[in-house]
Structure 1
Amino acid sequence: MEIYRFDKEIGKKITKFDSDFIMSRIVRTEKATHIGCMYLEANGIIGYHQAVSPQLLLIMAGEGAVRGESDDYHKVQAGDAVFWEKDEWHETKTSEGLTAIVIESEDLSPSAFMTLKK
């Protein structure tokens, strides 16, 4: 399991075409990609299971805790991106609730665009 950042502070200001916004790049894929949004209510859980493909979980709102194959949980919050390899066991839980975008593809390489969270 790796935890990356995609929050505003690591983004790049875009001014091309008279634009004025900040973009935090996440991934680029060549292969089929599934993208979904998950809404976990208070005390919600995505149960412990194996990833069917490489998976990137982007925390958009709220906070929670994630774990990989060890029993150690890591706190995550809006702006964090959690990456699990194919077949890696993992779990996500929250006491307050969280909203996340999930990206699943055989062609994910988040380290190409994002920095690891320290």
Structure 2
Amino acid sequence: MRILDLTDLPHRPIEANGSRGFSVGAFGLSADAHLVSVALAPGGAIGRHPAVGRQLLVVLAGEADVSGADGSTRRLSPGQAAVWEPGEQHETRSATGLSALIVEGDLDIGAPGEQVDPGDI
């Protein structure tokens, strides 16, 4: 077993699409998806941009104000996630700061309580 401390990952700042206080640390990659640790400073933002593939943002600490194609904003707390579809314009902001996990790529994401692959239990 290996233990990953996502807070110790080297992060690089991202300023594209008007982003501010935003940094990422990639730590996993497959042929179909990649895993990224995300940090937003208080008042930080991931600027509005299209999702390259299906994208899952899971809030680990802090709060996120997220929006999708329709522009309406929802607040997420730790343990909540947003899913954006390929090509969907989206944005993430945080007044208080945020740590999150992003998984992007060819993903099958079920509804809450739905088993995507019940054979793995």
Shorter-chain TM band: 0.5 to 0.7
Q: Distance in 1 between matches of 2:113 and 2:43?
A: 29
Q: 1:34 aligns to what?
A: 34
Percent identity at matched positions?
Answer: 35
AA aligned opposite 1:66: V
- Residue equivalent to 1:74: 74
Maintained 8 Å contact 2:51/2:84: yes
TM-score, length basis structure 1? 0.67
List structure 1 segments (4+ residues) > 2 angstroms apart after TM superposition: none
Q: What TM-score, normalized to structure 2? A: 0.65
Asked if the contact 2:52/2:105 (under 8 Å) is kept, the reply is no
Amino acid corresponding to residue 111 of structure 1 in structure 2: G
Structure 1 unmatched runs, 5+: 1-29
Higher relative contact order (CA 8 A, sep 6+): 1
Aligned ranges 1:1-118 → 2 under 5 Å: 31-106=31-106, 108-111=107-110, 114-115=112-113
Size of the aligned set, in residue pairs, is 85
Q: Could you tell me how far 1:69 is from its partner in structure 2? A: 1.2
Query: What SS does the aligned partner of 1:86 have?
Result: coil
**Structure 2 unaligned regions, length at least 5:** 1-29, 115-121
